[in-house]
Every structure is written in structure tokens, then in C-alpha cells.
Copies of this chain bind each other. A is one copy, B any other.
Amino acid sequence: MYLPNIPCQYRRRKRKKIESELISVNNLTKMKIGKPANEVFEAFVDPEKIGSFWFSSSSERWEEGKTITLRYEEYDAQGDIEILEVEKNSKIIFQDEEGHIVTIKLKESDDSSTIIEVNQEGFKENDTELINQLIDNKEGWVYMLTCLKGYLEYGVNLRAALVK
């Protein structure tokens, strides 16, 4: 029950499991945001904006090759990401400290809205906590993207309300 008859987002990168090999799985989330791609792009790369929908702070502007420190004041937690690739208004790829690769893609439509797609890769299929990790990860991305939509479309701040 939630959205009946709609195929799910979880995809294996490789279908066949080979014994003793680590097989990577990914988590893909997509949302439509009623703003042009450049506004969605700037929300991520401009450290003045991230506190309105995701982390509480970002150490500097996201640019290719930089290491950025992201901080959650609410959870007294922080982590570094390395920006691997940036294509202005269309793509950002970064790696987190656990080695996951996150790819954010933006596709602007004719009506000046944008489909944003976030794909996280690098989960290991033989990890005993795989299901937990994937579900927790999905929760995070859906929440962030909905907060981003609220921020860009209406200027509202919905972040830091997930209860664990």
C-alpha cells in the first residue's frame, strides 16, 4: 500500500550473484521540482542554501576536486564528501567517507520544471545490514528531496524532523 501498481526504484547493478564477489547495489530516487535546473543546482552548490533543506552547513561552494565538510548541527554529526564531477546545472557526482558514490542529475523540462534524480551506489550485497542500509538511505533521500521541493517552490523549511 502506498502507490499501487507502480514499479519500485530499487535496482541491482548486476543481476547475477557470484559467490565471494562483492556486488554493488544502488538506490535511485526521482522527484519533479517546479523550478528551472539552475535554481536546483545552486541549492546544492551554494553553501548559503543547503541549510534550508538538507545539512545545516556546507563548508564552501561545491566545485570539482574540492573536499566539502557537511554538518548536521541537530545530530552533532558531520562528514566530508569529495566532489568528483560537476556539470553546471545538470550533474554533480560526489563520494562520501564510506566510499558510496552519489550522482545527482538534473533534467529541465519545457515548462521550466526539473526532474532531479539522486542515485547512490556502493552498497555491498554481502553486507548483513544491506536491507537496513538501503531502507534508511531511501528514507534520507526522499526526505531531502521533498524538503528541497518545499524550499525551492515555497520557501519553507521542513528539514530535521525525521525521528529515529
Residue A18 lies at the interface, judged by CB distance under 8 Å to chain B: no
The one of B8, B33, B147, B164 that contacts A133, using a Cβ cutoff of 8 Å: B8
| Contacts A31-B161, A150-B156, A161-B33 given; does A1 touch B79 at CB 8 Å | yes
User: Could you say which of A3, A29, A137, A143 has the most chain B C-beta atoms within 10 Å of its C-beta?
Assistant: A3
Known: A10-B135, A150-B154. 13 other contacts (CB 8 A): A1-B98, A2-B140, A2-B144, A5-B77, A6-B75, A6-B136, A32-B163, A115-B163, A138-B138, A138-B139, A138-B142, A146-B150, A154-B156
In the complex, which range does the number of interface residues on chain A fall in?
Answer: 35 or more
Copies in the complex: 2
Is A22 located at the chain interface by the 8 A CB criterion?
no
Asked if A37 CB lies within 8 Å of chain B CBs, one says no
If over half of A's interface residues share one DSSP class (helix, strand or loop), that class is named, otherwise mixed; here it is mixed
For A10, list chain B residues within 8 Å (CB).
131-132, 135-136
Task: Please determine whether B100 and A1 come into contact, CB atoms closer than 8 angstroms.
Answer: yes
What 0/1 readout, one digit per residue, does chain A (93-133) give for beta carbons within 8 Å of chain B?
00011101010000000000001010010000000010111
Q: Which of A129, A153, A158 gathers most chain B CB within 10 Å?
A: A158
Task: Check A91 for interface membership: any CB of B closer than 8 A.
Answer: no
Asked whether, in the complex, the Cβ of A161 is within 8 Å of the Cβ of B3, the reply is no
Q: Which residues of B contact A144 (CB under 8 A)?
A: 2
